[in-house]
Amino acid sequence: MTALRLRDALRSVESDLLGWEFPPIDLAIAEAPIAADPAGTWCLRCGETVGTGEQTERGCASCRGSSTPLERFIRLGEYQPPLSTRVLQIKYARWHAMAGELGRRLGVQVRESLPSGRQPAAVVSMPMPWLRSWWRGIDHASEIASGVASQLGIPLLHPLIQRPGPTQTSRSRTERRRATDRIFVRRRARDTIRALGSLLIVDDVRTTGASVHQAALALQEAGASEVIGAVLAVVPNPRRRIERGRTLVEECRAAENPAESP
């Protein structure tokens, strides 16, 4: 019996006798493959999905003209299954192994998305209030960031603190943007941040971008020369989808009635 056949046989016995809370990572990925988004499909300034030719040096239709503390924004994919399912399993079912696996994949995406020689000096995880981390039994952003750091071969830091408050999922998009005083830098970490200079901040999901922007601003105020953002998934802006849907309807109507089109 080959090593692979022996492994599969042992897994079958383990599953039948003990049951699995989660399957082994290789089986889970094979069952629901997660592919990294190719370059050019998201805005490197805000992370939103973009169409062909939409992004310019000033950003995309979602961020063009707005300010951002981030040098660049990198994502693994859009927040939809199977990636969204895995993110929820990491956060609420404490799937530690999946957090590390997706973190390593995000690390590969970061390396391939940055210009040669522009690797950051360290990874910073988005902070979670200690009580929420204790209650959930996992600091999901830290475990994802650990996978990124191991893939890039750079240290992982925890210089940020988040004040207790409502979860992001319980806030409206407007409330998230207005919450500007939740994240700050530990006093004793300021010298380290200033010495390292370039930092990569990692989170699981970007919805409005408010949290990662607050964290980036806090790091810059503490002395970081540049901050790059990286997340597993970006939630599509619902307003953009409505506007895109209207555009498609208009294009279809124009194609059906060319005489009426301008």
Give residues with Cβ within 8 angstroms of 82, minimum separation 6: 32, 33, 34
By three-state DSSP, how is residue 146 classified?
A: helix
Q: CA distances (Å), 129 to each of 42, 116, 150, 156, in order?
A: 30, 36, 24, 18
pLDDT digits (tens, 9 = 90+) for 106-140: 999 999 999 988 899 999 999 998 888 888 889 99
Location of structure tokens 């060319």: 258
Position 139, amino acid: D
CATH topology of domain 27-256: Rossmann fold (3.40.50)
pLDDT digits (tens, 9 = 90+) for 19-40: 457 889 999 999 999 999 999 9
**14 has pLDDT over 80:** no
Average pLDDT, the chain: 83
Domain boundaries, the chain: 27-256
Q: Of the candidates 241, 195, 247, 193, which has an alpha carbon nearest to the alpha carbon of residue 219?
A: 193
Task: Determine the average pLDDT of the residues in 1-29.
Answer: 62
- What distance in Å separates the CA atoms of residue 222 and residue 243, rounded to the nearest whole number? 39
Residue 24, both tokens: 């082994």
pLDDT over 90 percentage in the chain:
61
What pLDDT band is residue 237 in, cutting at 50, 70 and 90? confident
